[in-house]
Structure 1
Amino acid sequence: MSVDARPTSESPAPRPRGRRRKTPEGPRATFRQLLPFIFEHKPVLVVIAVLSILGAGATLAQPLLVGQVIDRVQNQAPLGVLVGVLIALVVISSVISGYQHYLLQRTGTAVVFSSRRKLIARILRLPISEFDARRTGDLVSRVGTDTTLLYAVLTQGLADAVGNALIFVGALVAMAVIDPVLLVLILVVIGVSVVVVVLLSGRIRTASAEQQVKVGELASGVERAVGSIRTVRAAGATEREIASVSGLATEAYDVGVRIAKVSALVVPIAGIALQVSLLVVLGVGGFRVASGAIGIASLVTFILFLFMLIAPLGSTFGAITSVNQALGALGRIQEVLDLPTESQDDAAAAARAAQPEARTADAPAIAFRDVRFRYPENVVAARAKAAEEARSVLQEARLDRTADEVADEPEARDLDVLRGVSFAVPRGARVALVGPSGAGKSTVLSLIERFYDPTAGAIELDGRDIRSLERDALRAQFGYVEQDAPTLAGTIADNLRLASPEATDAECEQVLRAVNLTEVLERNDLGIDAPVGESGVMLSGGERQRLAIARALLAAPPILLLDESTSSLDGLNEQRMRDALDAVATGRTLVVIAHRLSTVVDSDLIVVLDHGQVVGQGTHSELVVSTPLYRDLARHQLLV
């Protein structure tokens, strides 16, 4: 990086990337898709509906009693128990309203809870391709932010619709009996307000869906910046990342302001309708009282019913706003819930698989039969988008590399990763996969683990097409150590027992010593219960890698898949690790990826990959003679 690439006081602040990109409108949901989330709580909703009916009855009775009180006062008749009954109805109505509010709040929280459980269960069962195509922060946003909007559906008027409808209809009937003329005038005012709200509600739903997409992008931006904070600081890119994430926040803010503007038109409509209706009733009603068409008591009763008519209307308008916002979020929730899980993919993959051959004693542990693989369209599109963002970053940061150079990188291209790969791994053998970066070595292990299925060809385990096996049963045969194996936040024991929850403390300590992590145990009095920090920050890179290997060894599977498992180790620890692997390799099959040929020269079989094709197979001594690429690699590493 050149010196002038860093922001200075004279250089303008980089323009936020978020303000340059147009985000496609998020998925929409229908009201019918919202109902299952609500109807999960039918018993409570029934109680709420009954309370609404009782509350509506108590509310509707109050204006009638007030009218009778006024009549008796005018006629100088005794009030009797009317005042007591009226007070009792007010108290009963208040108690019902309070308890109903509690049930609504609790049910709203339960809806959010159940939707989050469904989302979490679905997300953690999605195929790996979905994680490669989506950003982690966006998925987290759907679990957190999007589900929260479902809470407002119940707490802002929807679940109280039964009581409000009864009050609305009851008030209409009573007002029609008292004075049909006044009622017609009121309905004209209400009709206009309803039309306006319906026209605005569609805009709220569209803007809300877009806002949730923006919030998801913001969460992804924050997750990316925080997750790589050390790299960001070391590169002097803090201000650029702040500008970038702030740009995404600005986009979410702008959409939120648009929603606020539309909502600001919807919310006061009920109040305007009440004020106009009240003016009409006072003006026209006063005239009709003066002409003797109705009495004062009837006018007062009509006005009270008018308030009862407008209150549910206002609540309905609020419910329309909250439901439309929730539908925007529900579209994103439903999008994930509609995605097939790995287990749902199993049946389709098994149908495509070749009929399993009879198992024979000499069948290899693993066999690749003319395997071809290309990443799915959504993954390719995600990589292309990432490349586009990289070009934007480079242009704004004014780095030495140009956007054209980034565009030429093969990462964003839609190319076959494997092209007719065939080789066999004998049972109990140690097989190494070697070759330059991008040759397809890690993809081979991903296909063995069925993170993806081949585009063509077949992969066999003990003579059976792995697509005919359930993924959980298949993966139980493997111990897999990724190239950058993550360390989970928690303790050393938490990480070790991820695949072996029943392992004892003694077994955990034994496997840690086998991979030369004794000093990690001794540096903290808590031993295996010592915390490792977020992403294993309290461990060195080599210690994190050895911990991942220890986790695989603890599970003691028949086949070990190691992707660059010793890349972060120094010479001494690498030799100790090789000794540990030798000790556990007895009776097991090992498939190892390595750039350091010194770690695999004694393998039973070495498979050389280049540009997604097998260019050589054999032992070290055979390949040095037969395969030019391997000979060059060995010569470069001073092994020949």
Structure 2
Amino acid sequence: MSGAARFGRGAARVFFGSCAAGWLGPVIARASGGIAVVLAVSLLAVVLGLATPWLTKQFIDEGLVARDAQAVWTWALAAFGVGLAALGMGVVNALLHLRFSARMLADLRGRAMRASLLRDPLAPPKPVGEMAARIDGDTAEIQRFAFDGLLAAFGSILRLMGGGAMLMVLDWRLALIPILAAPLELGFLVWARGRTTARAEDVREMRGAVSSFVIESLSSLPTLRALGAGGARAGALEPLQTSQIAALERQRRWLELVGAVPQVIAAAVRLSVLLIGGLWVVQGDWQIGALIAFLAYIGMLTGPLRNLLGLYHAQAQALVSAGRLADLMEDGAEEASGRALPQGAALGFEAARAAMADHAPVTTTIPAGARVLIDGASGAGKSSLMHLALRLAAPAPGGRVTLDGLDVRALDPVALRRAVALVPQRGTLLAMSLADNLRLADPGALDARLWDVLEQADLADWVRAQGAGLDLMLTETGANLSGGERQRIALARALLLPFRVLILDESLSEVDAASAGRILATLDARYADRTRIFIAHAGPAREGRFDQRITLSSRPPERRNSRGDSPNQRENARENAVWSE
């Protein structure tokens, strides 16, 4: 393991606990170079900062009090030069800090986004808004503490060491006052830490609840408009926001109290130094420049000390975010890759039923190239049964689905879902061009290939009529399209996959009958050697010849071979159905 990797894992373990070392350690390791650069610049800034009060002391005591004009010029110019250098270092440090901290945030956010997009579909589901809050808000909280916290810790330690040394040089007796005050602050912050954690958890939960409500409402906008329920839905946001504001106010009141106590202690320290040191100056036992420098160093000492104690306190809030993000990164983590897919395409169902479905278990084999109708009442579990074939749903105990004899749960999930292509009733379209939406299935597809699948989906002429061709821009969720257009684009995209099995789950339910008929004829002609499975309650998708019909019900599933081409023949065939366990 490299030094950067050890540093990253160690820092993650110290600041966020051992559970964060695995997923946060690599992020900190990659940021360690930037942290080192910013830390080096900060070290120079600390040295310059420590020099300034000493130069001020020399200016007062050696120049003003001694009435030495040469010393006045010397120490004034020295202070001016150090001030300019400190200003330059501050600008450089701010720019470097922005660059490297932003990169760390992007790295962490990208890691969280990947974990969300590749999350195991069998893991417990999480609300979209809650996941968005974690990817956006919690990553920022962790990045601020991890990057700024490390820098603040190192910088504060350097300032404490330097400032403490200078205080001891000026007068070791007065230096004992801020040293003895430090345990008071530490004790208070240790006592307050648990309450800070609780209030941070409340705020995070309410922020996630509001985010989930907003995202769900916006995604349901067409339905809300159709029902005239937009106003009622908007009004339902108010209680959530009221609760969020109350949580924020509770947290702010507590943080103000927590911040006020150390300030009172610091004010008492400065008052003690002013009284004791001032009396020494009046009595002629101390120089006024030394008193001013001492007060300046106390300020430099109090700030870093408060930062260190505050970091310990702020860690409570960061740990809340780390726990929420760890839940996203680890619980339901990315699916493990499985073995390579077999050569065949025969789908086998052995006492198969989705865990939440209530139909009787299905035992059947769908041979490669078959044309199959999955039938049954709404809610019987037809879609869930097909989801088993793609590892998108968990099977009930004792059941399994195989591809060419191999349990699909042992196969590589990405390769499986490209071989068993599912086109749902509501295909998701993203806010980008038509070409980019299609190329989600095949990033390297040439334009000619895109036009080919659009022709198969009976959509090419419509696209040409829009005038923009493949550059046609789609809005979020394809809201600028009709339902039928969205369905045909989703179908065209699926046809770019190297599928062996194509599952059309009510995929043409919003397409007019004439167009749906042309699409089905094209699919039968072009993909006669590939398995085609249909779920449809009505329309052309239920017409034509099926090699198998599997009807789901609470009784053992009905399976039959059907060669009928008309409704009459199919009804006659239904009467002679073959029952199988």
| Cα deviations by residue, 1:592-614 (Å, 9 ceiling, x for unpaired) | 11212862452011111113841
Alignment equivalent of 1:602, drawn from 522, 536, 545: 545
The residue correspondences of 1:211-230 to structure 2 (distance < 5 A) are 211-230=203-222
Distance 2:337 2:442 in 1: 26
Q: For the residues of structure 1 that align with 2:141 and 2:293, how far apart are their CA atoms? A: 39
Structure 2 match to 1:412: none
Q: Is 2:324 aligned against 1:332? A: yes
Q: Which of 476, 479, 495 is the aligned partner of 1:553?
A: 495
Aligned positions of 1:114-513 closer than 5 A: 114-130=107-123, 133-153=125-145, 158-291=150-283, 293-316=285-308, 319-320=311-312, 322-344=314-336, 346=338, 365-374=346-355, 415-417=356-358, 419-454=360-395, 455-513=397-455
Letter of the structure 1 residue corresponding to residue 107 of structure 2: S
Structure 2 letter corresponding to 1:83: A
Which secondary structure state, in structure 2, belongs to the residue aligned with residue 456 of structure 1?
coil
SS in 2 for 1:41: helix
Matched-pair contact (CA < 8 Å) for 2:487–2:510:
yes
Name the structure 2 match of 1:538: 480
Equivalent AA in structure 2 for residue 301 of structure 1: A
> Structure 1 residue aligned with 2:31, among 19, 23, 41?
41
Instruction: Give the letter aligned to residue 205 of structure 1.
Output: T
Confirm or deny: 8 A CA contact 1:201 1:324 kept in the other structure: yes
After superposition, the Cα gap between the structure-2 partners of 1:169 and 1:327, relative to the gap in structure 1 and judged at 3 Å, is same
Structure 1 residue 588 and structure 2 residue 530: aligned? yes
Question: Contact 2:420/2:501 (CA < 8 Å) preserved in 1?
Answer: yes
Q: Cα offset for 1:276?
A: 2.0
Q: Taking structure 1 as the reference length, what is the TM-score of the superposition? A: 0.78
CA offsets, 1:274-313, max 9 Å, x none?
4322221121222333455544343333222222212323
> Could you tell me which of 85, 103, 109 is aligned with 2:102?
109
- Alignment counterpart, residue 16 of structure 2, candidates 30, 42, 60: 30
> SS of the counterpart of 1:433?
strand
Which residue number corresponds to residue 82 of structure 2?
89
Change (3 A) 1:210 1:196: same
Amino acid of the structure 2 residue aligned with 1:88: G
Deviation at 1:564, TM superposition (A): 1.6
Q: CA offset at residue 373 of structure 1?
A: 3.2
- The structure-2 alpha-carbon separation of the partners of 1:104 and 1:150, relative to structure 1 and needing over 3 Å to count, comes to farther
Shift of 1:154: 6.3
Check whether the contact 2:345–2:501 (CA below 8 A) recurs between aligned residues.
no
SS in 2 for 1:159: helix
Q: Who is 2:57 aligned against?
A: 67
Aligned length: 549
Residue 60 to residue 487, structure 1, CA distance change in 2 (3 Å): closer
Please name the residue that 1:611 is paired with.
Answer: 554
Q: Flag the 1:336–1:459 CA change in 2: closer, same or farther, 3 A.
A: same
Deviating more after overlay: 327-336 vs 441-450: 327-336
CA deviation after TM superposition for structure 1 residue 582, in Å:
1.9
**Distance of 2:498 and 2:94 partners within structure 1:** 55
CA distance in structure 2 between the aligned counterparts of 1:55 and 1:486, rounded to whole angstroms: 53
Q: Distance in 1 between matches of 2:215 and 2:187?
A: 43
Contact 1:417/1:612, CA 8 A, preserved across alignment = no
Instruction: Report % sequence identity.
Output: 28
Any stretches of 5+ residues in structure 1 without a counterpart?
1-28, 351-355, 375-414, 630-640
Deviation per CA, 1:439-466: give whole Å up to 9, x if none.
Answer: 1111121011111342423222122222
Task: State the alpha-carbon separation in 2 of the partners of residues 82 and 93 from structure 1.
Answer: 16
- How far, CA to CA, are the matches of 2:287 and 2:17 in structure 1? 45
- Equivalent AA in structure 2 for residue 475 of structure 1: R
Measured in 1, the distance between the counterparts of 2:498 and 2:276 equals: 88
Mark the CA change 1:69 to 1:344 in structure 2 (over 3 Å): closer, same or farther: same
Aligned partner letter, 1:609: L
**Distance change in 2, residues 1:155/1:431 (3 Å):** closer
* Aligned partner of 1:625 among 570, 575, 579: 575
Output the TM-score relative to the length of structure 2: 0.86
* Unaligned ranges ≥5, structure 2: 1-14, 563-569
The alpha-carbon distance between structure 1 residues 342 and 147, as it changes in their structure 2 partners (threshold 3 A), is: closer
Cα distance, 1:627 vs structure 2: 5.6
Partner Cα separation in structure 2 for residue 146 and residue 594 of structure 1: 43
Higher RCO (CA-CA < 8 Å; seq separation 6+):
1
1:12-46 Cα distance to aligned partner (Å, 9 max, x none): xxxxxxxxxxxxxxxxx836636654443212222
Letter in 2 for 1:287: L
Q: Is 1:171–1:306's contact at 8 Å kept on the other side of the alignment?
A: yes
Tell me, what secondary structure is at the counterpart of 2:392? coil
Separation of aligned partners in 2, 1:295 and 1:237: 77
Q: Deviations over 1:363-417 (max 9, x none)?
A: 871111122431xxxxxxxxxxxxxxxxxxxxxxxxxxxxxxxxxxxxxxxx554
Q: Aligned AA for 1:41? A: A
1:255 Cα deviation (Å)? 1.7
Tell me which amino acid in the other structure corresponds to 2:246.
Answer: D
Amino acid at match of 2:549: I
Aligned to 2:6: none
Q: Mean Cα displacement is larger for which, 430-439 or 312-321?
A: 312-321
Q: What's the CA shift for 1:171? A: 2.2
Q: Quick one: which amino acid aligns to residue 92 of structure 2?
A: Y
Distance in 2, matches of 1:239 and 1:628, equals 54
Is 1:515 the counterpart of 2:457? The answer is yes
Instruction: Give the CA RMSD over aligned residues.
Output: 3.0
> In 2, Cα distance between the equivalents of 1:154 and 1:105?
14
Shift in Å at residue 418 of structure 1? Answer: 5.3
1:313–1:612 distance in 2 versus 1, CA, 3 Å: farther
C-alpha change, 1:623 and 1:597, in structure 2 (3 Å) is farther
Are the aligned partners of 1:214 and 1:251 in contact in 2 as well (CA < 8 Å)?
yes
SS in 2 for 1:126: coil
Give the AA of the match of 1:624. Answer: R
